[in-house]
Chains A and B, each alone.
Chain A
């Protein structure tokens, strides 16, 4: 990840050099620089510290292979959606439609299999295409019609959700029907177990996706263009980046990732549930922000988002095992969000 941010900094070589020279002496500014270049470190520390604290407070019931891998299972869907959200936020955008795209895609997979009688593989293909298509429309509206991403995806959120309820009639497709007639839809619910640990294929997909996107963002031209567009689209344009096609591709890929999340959702629920995923947009933004990705774009890493999602998962389950009222979870997550953004602002100022 550090390479990625180095590349972004590379867009402003003079500023960077001057700043580093002047601030060489202060310890705090050194820390700020280190964090600027390694945005995933703070959430990683918070994750490790909170895991240790809950392990001490709760004991073995928390610090066990079963519970720790359970947290992975519980954050898998938000983690995957957060990957999509991260890409969009890195371009200084936001995507409120992620959860709706996810659910609509899962409904398409289910309905195409059970109502249209298509082979599950084809239905999955159409479900994934559905996510890709909606994401592409988002991207075109943002890039060419120049509408603010917040407004575009606010509208698309409503459209996709309404389409989901209209098309599905709010009706659930039962787990037992899926497992007998179309087990492929539940593919990501399969698991690898050992020593009390349970890794669902959904969890493995999340980890692979984080690894793949980390590589792409740091090692490919497309990845560096995303940071450049988020940092300063005008400068990116001047230096030869095709801002429009970068934006469209980001929203399109985000839509496709959400559709994969919809497939994973079927694996987790067993059933196709049109009611699911209603809060995925807020939860993914929470993970991304706690994970240290700047809402102003151009700074942060995918791994940070994963840590952000895991922090929320650790707090949720840890506090429940302590028997705390669930409101304490929301309260602490709220504090974490504000602290995370404060840290982001501080880093931006200190290393500007």
Chain B
């Protein structure tokens, strides 16, 4: 096993090693909630990998996205249970760090999934999508699809007003990819480019997506490019556009790569989406903990990044020159629920 380096090679190896030698490790998975399909699939990926490796997996979740207290209680339970490590999708990335430190002091390996802690090194390692890159890809695709972007009228549908980092990264990545000056890249809403019609909120679901899109259309009915935080929000935005008969002359881009979202790319609802890989996140995380418990070796970050990048794929049925893109068929094979 002297070829162990970093990144994928290390993890591929860890999977092999862990599968023989991690029989008595147990792992906790703590997600933001148990209802978002993203976390439902993540838990499935973790359970599948745990079963394969013979690792015991305990799954916990907040009652709702933002439920910090339940996550703290889950970490305390996992410390008390003496598990080998914790996979954590944190709701409150700052406040959770003291509990994470307790777990690490007690000898547990703590890996952040999907959402980096603040600071990022509060966890032993982070397995996540590069959300800024995800945004950049769909932004660049939208700009190339438009060609001349001087007449662009951009509406952005974010998560909520508290601007969680995932949402800021995707939003700002999109604007950067589209070719718009960001101002302060750590928040959205401070850009001065007149092509931006507005930033609205969607709560990341179809209901919020429809209302947010309606609000944007009330501000300027000539919107022709719409960024959405995820595919349910995009589907809601599409319904709002359809109600005005404008669904065919607006470019909608999104992030996630869930199976309904990829199907929406195929049927023309979404122009392009940046796909993430939550099953990999969870599977790689379980394997990494098993290996760290077994050998003491921690997973390494992707070169040039502060976290382990689980990858992102740009899916569209209208490819443009100069970008790596996956077809809808390829995206469907990789989609997660």
Contact between B206 and A176 (Cβ–Cβ < 8 Å)?
no
Q: Give Cα A67–Cα B242 distance, bound, in whole angstroms.
A: 16
Residue of A191, A275, A327 with highest tally of chain B CB at under 10 A:
A275
Report the nearest A residue to B189, measured CB to CB: A325
Q: Does B130 lie at the interface of the complex (its beta carbon under 8 Å from any beta carbon of A)?
A: no
Within 8 A of A (CB), among B184-214: 198, 200-201, 205-207, 210-211, 214
Contacts A73-B214, A170-B35, A172-B232 hold; do A269 and B243 have CB atoms under 8 A apart?
no
B244–chain A nearest beta-carbon distance, Å: 8
Contacts of B48 in A (CB 8 A): none
Contacts of B264 in A (CB 8 A): 174, 176
14 more contacts with CB within 8 A, not counting A269-B206, A275-B205, are A66-B221, A74-B211, A170-B35, A170-B36, A171-B337, A174-B235, A174-B263, A189-B243, A191-B243, A200-B243, A269-B207, A278-B64, A320-B200, A321-B218
Q: Does A146 lie at the interface of the complex (its beta carbon under 8 Å from any beta carbon of B)?
A: no
Q: Does A338 lie at the interface of the complex (its beta carbon under 8 Å from any beta carbon of B)?
A: no
Q: Does A26 lie at the interface of the complex (its beta carbon under 8 Å from any beta carbon of B)?
A: no
User: What 0/1 pattern do residues 124 to 160 of A give for CB contact below 8 A with B?
Assistant: 0000000000000000000000000000000000000
A174–chain B nearest beta-carbon distance, Å: 5
Q: Does B267 lie at the interface of the complex (its beta carbon under 8 Å from any beta carbon of A)?
A: yes
Q: Which of A191, A270, A273 contacts B205 (CB 8 A)?
A: A273
Contact residues on A (Cβ < 8 Å of other chain), bracket = 35 or more
Contacts of B210 in A (CB 8 A): 268-269
Report the nearest B residue to A67, measured CB to CB: B218
Closest 7 pairs between A and B when the two form their complex, measured CB to CB = A270-B239, A276-B207, A275-B205, A269-B206, A273-B206, A170-B37, A320-B215
Report the nearest A residue to B36, measured CB to CB: A170
Q: Does A49 lie at the interface of the complex (its beta carbon under 8 Å from any beta carbon of B)?
A: no
Q: Does B34 lie at the interface of the complex (its beta carbon under 8 Å from any beta carbon of A)?
A: yes
Contacts of B215 in A (CB 8 A): 317, 320-321
B236–chain A nearest beta-carbon distance, Å: 6
Within 8 A of A (CB), among B17-61: 34-37, 40
Contact between A269 and B239 (Cβ–Cβ < 8 Å)?
yes
Q: Does B260 lie at the interface of the complex (its beta carbon under 8 Å from any beta carbon of A)?
A: yes
Q: Does B306 lie at the interface of the complex (its beta carbon under 8 Å from any beta carbon of A)?
A: no
Q: Which of A62, A67, A277 contacts B207 (CB 8 A)?
A: A277
B190–chain A nearest beta-carbon distance, Å: 13
Q: Give Cα A171–Cα B161 distance, bound, in whole angstroms.
A: 26
Report the nearest A residue to B200, measured CB to CB: A320
Q: Give Cα A172–Cα B269 distance, bound, in whole angstroms.
A: 15
Q: Give Cα A11–Cα B28 distance, bound, in whole angstroms.
A: 62
Q: Does B308 lie at the interface of the complex (its beta carbon under 8 Å from any beta carbon of A)?
A: no
Residue of B206, B235, B260, B264 with highest tally of chain A CB at under 10 A:
B206
Contacts of A61 in B (CB 8 A): 218-219
Report the nearest A residue to B161, measured CB to CB: A326
Report the nearest A residue to B239, measured CB to CB: A270
Contacts A61-B219, A326-B161 hold; do A175 and B35 have CB atoms under 8 A apart?
no
Contacts of B244 in A (CB 8 A): 198
User: What 0/1 pattern do residues 248 to 280 of A give for CB contact below 8 A with B?
Assistant: 000000000000000001001111011111100
Contact between B218 and A317 (Cβ–Cβ < 8 Å)?
yes
Q: Does A13 lie at the interface of the complex (its beta carbon under 8 Å from any beta carbon of B)?
A: no
Contact between B260 and A268 (Cβ–Cβ < 8 Å)?
no
User: What 0/1 pattern do residues 200 to 222 of A give for CB contact below 8 A with B?
Assistant: 10000000000000000000000
Within 8 A of A (CB), among B240-266: 242-244, 260, 263-264
B267–chain A nearest beta-carbon distance, Å: 5
Q: Does B238 lie at the interface of the complex (its beta carbon under 8 Å from any beta carbon of A)?
A: yes
Contact between A66 and B206 (Cβ–Cβ < 8 Å)?
no
B89–chain A nearest beta-carbon distance, Å: 15
Report the nearest A residue to B236, measured CB to CB: A269
Contact between A271 and B206 (Cβ–Cβ < 8 Å)?
yes
B169–chain A nearest beta-carbon distance, Å: 21
30 of the cross-chain contacts (CB-CB < 8 Å) are: A62-B218, A70-B218, A74-B211, A74-B214, A169-B40, A170-B40, A172-B235, A172-B260, A174-B264, A176-B269, A189-B239, A189-B243, A198-B244, A269-B206, A269-B210, A269-B236, A270-B235, A270-B236, A270-B242, A271-B235, A271-B239, A273-B205, A275-B205, A276-B205, A278-B64, A320-B218, A320-B219, A321-B218, A326-B161, A327-B161
Q: Give Cα A73–Cα B337 distance, bound, in whole angstroms.
A: 31
Report the nearest B residue to A169, measured CB to CB: B40
Report the nearest B residue to A272, measured CB to CB: B206
Contacts of B236 in A (CB 8 A): 269-270
B187–chain A nearest beta-carbon distance, Å: 13
Q: Give Cα A70–Cα B221 distance, bound, in whole angstroms.
A: 13
Q: Does A187 lie at the interface of the complex (its beta carbon under 8 Å from any beta carbon of B)?
A: no
Contacts A170-B36, A273-B232 hold; do A268 and B205 have CB atoms under 8 A apart?
no
Contact between B219 and A273 (Cβ–Cβ < 8 Å)?
no
Contacts A268-B210, A273-B206 hold; do A176 and B161 have CB atoms under 8 A apart?
no
Contact between A175 and B161 (Cβ–Cβ < 8 Å)?
no
Q: Give Cα A317–Cα B219 distance, bound, in whole angstroms.
A: 10
Contact between B36 and A273 (Cβ–Cβ < 8 Å)?
no
Q: Which of B211, B221, B235 contacts A175 (CB 8 A)?
A: B235
Contacts of A74 in B (CB 8 A): 211, 214
Contacts of A323 in B (CB 8 A): 198
